Structure 1
Amino acid sequence: MPERGWRAWRGWRLWRLWPQSLLGRLSLVMVAGLLVTQLAASLIWSAQLRTKAEADTRAASQYLGQGAAGAIRFFRSLPPSYRSLLIQQFREMGGTRFFVGLNKAYVPVPGIGGQALAHTALSTLEATLTADLRPAGPIRLGFAWPDQLAVSPDGVKVGELPESWVRHILLLKPDPAPVLVIQTELEPGNWLYLATLMPNPYFLNSHDPLSTDRLVPQALSLAAVLLLSILVVRSITRPLAALSDAAEAFGKDENAPALPESGSREFVNTARAFGAMRERIARYIADRERLFISISHDLRTPITRLKLRAELLDDDALRQEFEEDLDELDMMVKGALQCVKDSDIHENPAEVNLDALIRRLVRSAELAGHGVAFGGTPLTVRAKPLALKRAIGNLLDNALFYGERAEVSVRGVDGWIEIAVRDHGPGVPEDAFASLLQPYVRLSHGRERNDGGMGLGLGIAAGIIDGHGGELVLANHPQGGLNAVIRLPA
């Protein structure tokens, strides 16, 4: 994968991991901050523990080395025949700090690997013994776990010895402790075997920041801080969620309860500002409704007279078309001042037969002398009939005004129904698409062809389609002209 593509893919994956909610983002930031702080504190603490543990280990090893040097000098001073008797007396008395044994050869000790403190202890012990014992002779040092430690060349393990012999050098509960073994050759063929515990038997764990006794308090404190942080973040974001729900309910013309004026000062101010805004919008909508009622009342008389005159027509088909147009006009005048959602107030959604609706528009255009190509469709869509008719009619009018002839097609694509209206005009410049749906925006070609237009048709159509959960897509057709596509949920 190229470097640029890899970076883009990695950035996309990181963006997907980034929470989309404010609660998730604040929680993630606080959790990450606490974890980083805990990690930094643990690293500093670990460095301090390591320094202290190394100093304590050197001091304990030096003290233990001095004691071991004294024991070695004592056994060197004894005649070889007395040493075994003295060791037997030590064992019968209950043992000493050191388990003492005599062997004919060096006993291999399986060492403990990967422990820096063990290496520090052994190096300090070796330096102390070498300095105290002159001549030192061969000295072998090592740490071993009790279950792996042999005390004689024939393989006898320390755990197989009588308990009274090793009570001071074995620590198996609650956790096995490493055993220090010192072997030195007193004379050729006579090796002194000393085994003991360090003053701090568990010195290997003294600098471990991940030990259980340290991790449990840290984990509990971290969990408590995280819980409190999440509760605080949730208390901050809950009013925002309530504000979002109230705004959505108000946008759907639902009677949502007023926001409680409680919480932080900023939210109280926001709730008051939102309540005042909602009241102003409600008054504006009420004034607009009264205006619609006034317009409807003023136009009801002339519409009624037109209906009466339509009844006097002898041509039944013509009379029916007049009555349908007057019924449509009666509905449309109530929303005549709206440019975006003309029929949302007065009309309910219903199953609309697109073939019948479009054929009526095509027939009206043909009666006006325009050419419209439409092959028919069996598809239906759930929509507000008059609103959808006005949206398609606006697109068709634009196509006929600015392109002389139009083509209408309907198809179903991946859960959507697409109604395409294409004209055969000059098309639209690419830099003009961004402002094409704004009200009162007209291109030079449109002003030349239609002086009476106001540039509201596309904006009204886009608003109606958006109210149906669809979208209006405008693009130049590859073969020329503008192609306006209405996409509605199937």
Structure 2
Amino acid sequence: MPKFLARLLPQSLQGRLTLVMVIGVLLTQLVGNFIWAAQRRAEALSETGTAAQHLAHSASSAVRFFLSLPPNYRPLIIQQFREMGGTRFLVNINQAPVPARAIAGQELADAALKQVRATLKEDLPNISEVRLAFAWPDKLPVGDNGATIADLPDTWVQHIMLTKPAPVLLIQVEMDPGHWLYLATLMPNPYFLETGNPLTRDRLLLQALSLAAVLLLSIMVVRWITRPLAALSEAATAFGKGEHGPALPETGSREFVNTARAFEAMRQRIQRYIEDRERLFVSISHDLRTPIMRLKLRTELLDDEAMQSEFHDDLDELDMMVKGALQTVKDSDIHENPTEVRLDALLGRMVRDAQLAGHAVLFSASGLSVAAKPLALKRAIGNLLNNALHYGDKVELAVRERAGNIEIEVRDHGPGVPEAALAGLCEPYVRLEHGRSQNSSGMGLGLGIARGIVQAHGGELLLANAPGGGFRATIVLPGGAFVPL
């Protein structure tokens, strides 16, 4: 599970900081909304219960008033109330309870009905049956003759019919057999059901706007913080490839300014050390050639031929080492700017030259390009190709793109290399037995030079025995779109 989560996490520092801040803000919003919704729910239940209790007391008073009237006077009183403009309750008398489509599944409505029923039972203990319900005013029946609220004059229902429909509380009380008192009214807060849903559209919109603003600011802050680190990473990568880029800007936080200064000082020290070492190495190697030549001339004056031969062998070996040192510096330290290299054109020329010399070389065009130093890359591939031509009967060149990288493979069909010797092949002056017998003029520097060039490009040189026989050298270079430097 941790490995799976690690694969899901962004790889960049900016992505991880952004993800942590987004999750933190979302969790804070969710917890805050949960606590606020719980408080609002408790407040809504309390307010609804209090309002339902007051409304039930008013309904009890109305029921007691009609109970005190003779049955034949009740319709007259109701008609007088209607002509006066109505009352808080829409009142009617029916022979049976009127069925209405009740609102179901509403916690606040159920709580209000429970409180009304309890209050009516307390105020009117002698009432035999009470029917309560909340219903929407649309096509709400008011009489057992099928009449609805829409059929009544506006003056009768002005306290119930609002511009925005609100749930209507129906109270039907059996006063005596065949006489049911019908009371319809609104709660003190007509839209009390909406208070039970704290996440209204307006609040959700406000929450979304505030969340978007916080996330936008968080992402901007994270980018502002991590941008200097990206510049530092690019400068370190360029320096590792031997490129001389501009100095890091000393802007941003105090910690980054100190880091930039320390990195710049380190880069200058390393650069001076490398330049001094190269100059010293080249000077020593160059200066040694003169005394070696003088010693060879003096060796000719020796009378002892055996001694003369031994001196010649030692001086030839020393001369070869000096030439190898000069070649290593010359081949590895190629100062040029990276550019877009079309691999088909580069390898095509090398293949044609080898074929003109009588070698069997196979190559298929790939259409791929890579950002590299052309001469240095040619020198690295040339060293691998020369080795393959010396030790194999046939050579195959292949270029492919894999996992975002460019791979250049040089394979020969020679005897291969013992597995135990693979790890030390790139070391200077390392030559295997069959290599010395087939190429006596070599010095064992080609693979080391090729590896150094490839590593300077940020790549890797892979050496292995090929399946089915032969040896395979693969140059792996970072791919992606070419960006001029």
Change (3 A) 1:154 1:444: farther
> Partners in 2 of 1:335 and 1:426 — Cα distance?
27
Q: Which residue of 2 aligns with 1:410?
A: 397
Q: How does 1:41-120 map to 2 (within 5 A)?
A: 41-120=32-111
Change (3 A) 1:54 1:466: same
Amino acid at match of 1:133: L
Q: How does 1:248-287 map to 2 (within 5 A)?
A: 248-250=237-239, 256-287=245-276
Q: Which residue of 2 aligns with 1:153?
A: 144
> Partners in 2 of 1:412 and 1:227 — Cα distance?
44
Give the one of 169, 178, 186 matched to 1:197: 186
> Partners in 1 of 2:238 and 2:417 — Cα distance?
44
Change (3 A) 1:121 1:441: farther
Shift of 1:271: 0.9
- 1:92-139 Cα distance to aligned partner (Å, 9 max, x none): 222211111112222111111221111111111112112221222221
Q: Work out the percentage of aligned pairs sharing the same amino acid.
A: 50
Shift of 1:457: 3.9
Q: Which residue of 1 aligns with 2:351?
A: 355
Q: Which residue of 2 aligns with 1:462?
A: 451
Answering whether residue 357 of structure 2 is matched by residue 374 of structure 1, we say: no
Between 30-39 and 339-348, the greater mean CA deviation after superposition: 339-348
Equivalent pair of 1:261/1:271 in contact (CA under 8 Å) = yes
Equivalent pair of 2:428/2:444 in contact (CA under 8 Å) = yes
**RMSD of aligned C-alpha atoms?**
4.3
Amino acid at match of 1:355: V
> Partners in 2 of 1:250 and 1:142 — Cα distance?
80
> Partners in 2 of 1:378 and 1:479 — Cα distance?
21
> Partners in 1 of 2:324 and 2:448 — Cα distance?
18
Equivalent pair of 2:328/2:445 in contact (CA under 8 Å) = no
State TM-score, norm by structure 2. 0.74
Q: Which residue of 2 aligns with 1:222?
A: 211
> Partners in 1 of 2:276 and 2:441 — Cα distance?
29
Q: Which residue of 1 aligns with 2:196?
A: 207
Equivalent pair of 1:406/1:421 in contact (CA under 8 Å) = yes
Give the one of 15, 20, 23 matched to 1:29: 20
Between 187-196 and 217-226, the greater mean CA deviation after superposition: 217-226
Q: Which residue of 2 aligns with 1:231?
A: 220
Shift of 1:150: 1.7
Shift of 1:194: 0.3
Amino acid at match of 2:360: F
Shift of 1:469: 8.4
Shift of 1:251: 5.2
> Partners in 2 of 1:299 and 1:189 — Cα distance?
131
Amino acid at match of 2:186: L
Answering whether residue 120 of structure 2 is matched by residue 129 of structure 1, we say: yes
Equivalent pair of 1:354/1:379 in contact (CA under 8 Å) = no
Q: Which residue of 1 aligns with 2:315?
A: none
Answering whether residue 177 of structure 2 is matched by residue 188 of structure 1, we say: yes
Between 383-392 and 218-227, the greater mean CA deviation after superposition: 383-392
- 1:433-468 Cα distance to aligned partner (Å, 9 max, x none): 5x4566459699799989999875433223335667
Amino acid at match of 1:135: N
- 1:311-337 Cα distance to aligned partner (Å, 9 max, x none): xxxxxxxxxxxxxxxxxx9xx989634
Unaligned runs of 5+ in 1: 1-6, 303-328, 364-372
Shift of 1:241: 2.6
Shift of 1:184: 1.5
> Partners in 2 of 1:164 and 1:224 — Cα distance?
50
Equivalent pair of 2:376/2:453 in contact (CA under 8 Å) = no
> Partners in 1 of 2:361 and 2:46 — Cα distance?
94
Change (3 A) 1:375 1:289: closer
Q: Which residue of 2 aligns with 1:428?
A: 419
How many residue pairs are counted as aligned between the two chains?
A: 434
- 1:53-101 Cα distance to aligned partner (Å, 9 max, x none): 1122222212211211121121111111111111111112222111111
Equivalent pair of 1:355/1:378 in contact (CA under 8 Å) = no
- 1:239-276 Cα distance to aligned partner (Å, 9 max, x none): 22332343455456666433222221211111111211
State TM-score, norm by structure 1. 0.73
Change (3 A) 1:143 1:229: same
Between 415-424 and 231-240, the greater mean CA deviation after superposition: 415-424
Change (3 A) 1:78 1:470: same
Q: Which residue of 1 aligns with 2:378?
A: 388
Shift of 1:473: 3.7
> Partners in 2 of 1:455 and 1:209 — Cα distance?
79
> Partners in 2 of 1:436 and 1:161 — Cα distance?
103
> Partners in 2 of 1:215 and 1:386 — Cα distance?
61
